[in-house]
Amino acid sequence: MKTKLKLFAKARDLVGAAELELDLPESATVADLRIALGEHSPALQPLLASLLVAVGTDYASPTTRIGGRQDLAVFPPVSGG
Amino acid sequence: MKTKLKLFAKARDLVGAAELELDLPESATVADLRIALGEHSPALQPLLASLLVAVGTDYASPTTRIGGRQDLAVFPPVSGG
Amino acid sequence: MIQLTHDTIDYTALTESIRSNQAGAVVLFLGTVREMTAGRQTVALDYDGFPEMAEAKLRELEAEARSRWPVIEAGIVHRLGHLELGDISVAVAVSCPHRHQAFDAGRYLIDRLKEVVPIWKKENWSDGSTEWVHPGVDNNGTQPQI
Amino acid sequence: MIQLTHDTIDYTALTESIRSNQAGAVVLFLGTVREMTAGRQTVALDYDGFPEMAEAKLRELEAEARSRWPVIEAGIVHRLGHLELGDISVAVAVSCPHRHQAFDAGRYLIDRLKEVVPIWKKENWSDGSTEWVHPGVDNNGTQPQI
């Protein structure tokens, strides 16, 4: 299923895009997204393990199903303040 | 010896004056001042044990000699802020 | 007041908005762009953010603070975009009946903000290089050895 | 800036005076006149002070804070005279490289101010009575039973 996600900060720079569309099964979890992202953008590889995933405005847990969602965001650890 | 002191807050109100002159021997300490103050102004009696004494801009220790000083201040516990 | 802005933060307006006759204490925290970090010289910072989620998380943090301390009013403003040395990146203001409550609540809000609010800063070092700050991820983007 | 004043405290000017490119954190504390204290309603406070000694003690407190934390700049302004509900009685501002230093130094300064600086407040209760606040001394001026 078409799955849309926003990228921020270094993740966006490494992918070279602010948004991305991946094809994921509906049952796909955060772990599956990580694998798919690494295959789509090998430049993300070194950042992959530390990437955070949000669904809507909440952090996704590792088991959250995210396949087909249009409101995902993927980003490295935050550093505001 | 003529000993001058300023009074503040409730101590001033109870004595009814902002400054006071007492006759104290040169060897008089803070404890002696307390006794002399209580005799001079019986209204101060209930506050006497908690009064603080300053010489110049420093708190006096119980053994500081204060007889004859012109730069004494006497006041109850502080409550600024 | 929960706000993200690209403009200079008006911390006086924020502070006035959280003052109250019910409060004896106001604590304001300002984060400002510091020149030296671990011996390296910064000339500017760029802040990126995910606005919808950042605002939602800031509202959650305010609710968390209210559940822990008798907060009368609280406000958080975070700036995004390009900031020069000394500029204010974030302002947290809180009013409480007593001072230790206000200090604790203010510290909690900025500590938690730095943990969960999706905002990121990029260092512009004096040697001309730039670098995203991602705690726990080293400069090459690899996970640090533990 | 160490100052006693009978005028409204300009905490923005105080805060601007302690900001620095060397600081990543600014903490401002404001004490404000609270309406309710232990269930009693205040309508105003009168602050009395011993100015020369108060200023000397505030300078000592600033020096103490600098000896304990890497304070870049610090300032304390205390108001004297008649204050209405919500008015600011004291402002403490401090800048440090990191935020926990600034929170700790700011809290230390206001805690110590309340212990040692010769300033006193008189409550003007809503029932028309007035009362000096002298911690450790009860309302009749006698020492409390321990």
CB contact under 8 A, D103 and C106: yes
Question: Count of CB atoms within 10 A of residue A52's CB?
Answer: 17
CA-nearest residue to D52 within chain B is: B57
Residue of chain D whose alpha carbon sits nearest to that of B76: D134
Neighbouring chains to A with at least 3 Cβ pairs closer than 8 Å: C
Q: Which residues of C touch A37 (CB under 8 A)?
A: none
The ipTM is: 0.95
pLDDT above 70 as % of chain B: 100
What per-residue confidence (pLDDT) applies to D101?
98
Length reported for chain C: 146
Are C25 and D29 a contacting pair at CB < 8 A? yes
Q: What is the pLDDT of residue C1?
A: 92
Please say if the pLDDT value at position C139 is more than 70. no
CATH topology of domain B2-75: Ubiquitin-like (UB roll) (3.10.20)
Q: What percent of chain B has pLDDT over 90?
A: 98
pLDDT in tens, D75-105: 999 999 999 999 999 999 999 999 999 999 9
Decide if B71 contacts B60 (C-beta within 8 A): no
**Which 8-state DSSP code applies to residue D138?**
-
Those residues of chain A that have pLDDT short of 70 are: none
Residue of A48, A42, A60, A49 whose CA lies nearest to A3: A60
> What are the domain boundaries of chain C?
2-132
For residue C126, is pLDDT > 60? yes
Class assignment of domain C2-132?
alpha beta
The residue with greater pLDDT, D84 or D142, is D84
CA A53-A56-A62 angle, to 5 degrees, is 35
Quick check: D139 pLDDT over 80?
Answer: no
Q: Chains contacting C with at least 3 CB pairs below 8 Å?
A: A, D
Residue of chain B nearest D135, judged by CA positions:
B77
pLDDT band at C140 (very low <50, low <70, confident <90, very high): low
Residues D120, D10, C81, CA angle at the centre, nearest 5°?
A: 135
Q: D47 — contact with chain B (CB < 8 Å)?
A: yes
In this prediction, residues C83-108 reach a mean pLDDT of: 98
The pLDDT tens digits for C28-56 are 999 999 999 999 999 999 999 999 999 99
Chain C residues in contact with D26 by the CB 8 A cut-off are 28-30, 32
Nearest to A68 by CA among A33, A42, A40: A33
pLDDT at B80: 98
User: Which residues in chain B have Cβ-Cβ distances shorter than 8 Å to D136?
Assistant: 50, 77
How confident is the model over D103-126, as a mean pLDDT? Answer: 98
Nearest by CB to residue D21, choosing from C85, C97, C103, is C85
Q: To the nearest whole percent, how much of chain C has pLDDT over 70? A: 95
| pLDDT interval class at C146 (50, 70, 90) | very low
* Chain D nearest-CA residue for B58: D53
**pLDDT tens-place string over residues D30-73:** 999 999 999 999 999 999 999 999 999 999 999 999 999 999 99
Chain D residues near residue C19 by CB distance under 8 angstroms: 30, 32, 86
Task: Spell out the residues 6+ positions from residue B63 whose beta carbon is closer than 8 angstroms to its own.
Answer: B29, B30
**Per-domain residue ranges for chain A?**
2-75
Residue C49 — φ and ψ, nearest 5°?
A: -150, 160
Residue range B16-74, pLDDT digits in tens = 999 999 999 999 999 999 999 999 999 999 999 999 999 999 999 989 999 999 999 99
For residue D142, pLDDT over 70 is answered with no
Average pLDDT over residues C127-140: 89
Provide the pLDDT for residue C142.
46
**Does pLDDT of D144 surpass 80?**
no
User: Phi and psi at residue C35, in whole multiples of 5°?
Assistant: -70, -45
Whether the per-residue pLDDT at D23 is higher than 80: the answer is yes
